[in-house]
Structures are given as C-alpha cells and as structure tokens.
Amino acid sequence: MAITTAICTSYKQEILEGVHTSTDTYKIALFTDAATLGASTTAYSSTNEVANGNGYTTGGNTLTGFASGIASNKAYITFADPEWTSATITARGCLIYNSTRSNKAVAAFDFGSNISSTNGTFTIDLPAAGASALIRIA
C-alpha cells in the first residue's frame, strides 16, 4: 500500500470538461498508511481512512477559502488550512475531493511519514496561493 502525491489524472480531464467549479464543495479526508492513493484515484472512498471518532469524522472536513489565480505562468487553486480540533489521530496522507460532483478525486498527498495528534489540533499547513500553491497546472 502507498500514498503518492499527485493531482488525480481524472481531475485533469474533468477540468477541461468543465466538471469542477469554484462554487462546488471540496473536502479533505485523512488516510492511514494502509491506503493506496495517487494519480489513478478517481473518487473518494472510506477504505483505509482514519477511523471515525476521537476528533475525526469519516469523510473529512469541508475545505474553505477557495482561491484561484495565475502566478509565474501557472494556474493554481488553494484553500485555507484544514484543522481537526481535540483530535487523537494518526494519518499518513490525505485526499482532496469534490463532494458536489459525486466525490470525484482532485489530488492525493503523502505526508512522508505518519503524523499524529493526541487530544490536540491536527492541522495541514497548505502552501500559500501562488506559484507554489497546493494544486498547480503548469
């Protein structure tokens, strides 16, 4: 099993087809090191997701602060940093998906190792908007 950081291939095609919009609801779900996520992921599934409870709800959090633009000839989208408060969880990676569009996958991210919180705030620090933003199309 492995999580590979990638913009999902299906998402790239769906952008060209106009499937995803800025007004859709995007979510971020956390996954254990048993998950298999990457470029070939096409939709959210709860398989090997962090267990429900202890500050985490299956399906993850709704992302807020959608921002898009162009920087250094790269189109980008990003969001505000997602947080899970009073959380006792361990995650290896995450999946951003579009819950408005039948849970279509957007991008998978590997944290590089298991990251844990113990009755604290689990935060994913997303890159700032611009050429190094979370999701970029060059």
Mean local confidence (pLDDT), 13-20: 96
The candidate with the shortest Cα–Cα distance to 38, out of 117, 110, 128, 111, is 110
Cα separation, 16 vs 2, in Å, equals 28
Domain boundaries, the chain: 6-137
Residues 49, 58 contacting (CB under 8 angstroms):
yes
- 123 pLDDT band, cuts 50/70/90, is very high
pLDDT tens digits for 34-93? Answer: 999 999 999 999 999 999 999 999 999 999 999 999 999 989 999 999 999 999 999 999
pLDDT score of 47: 98
Residue 138 has pLDDT above 90, yes or no: no
Cα separation, 38 vs 90, in Å, equals 19
Mean local confidence (pLDDT), 7-14: 96
Residue 136 has pLDDT above 90, yes or no: no
The residue assigned the tokens 């890159």 is 127
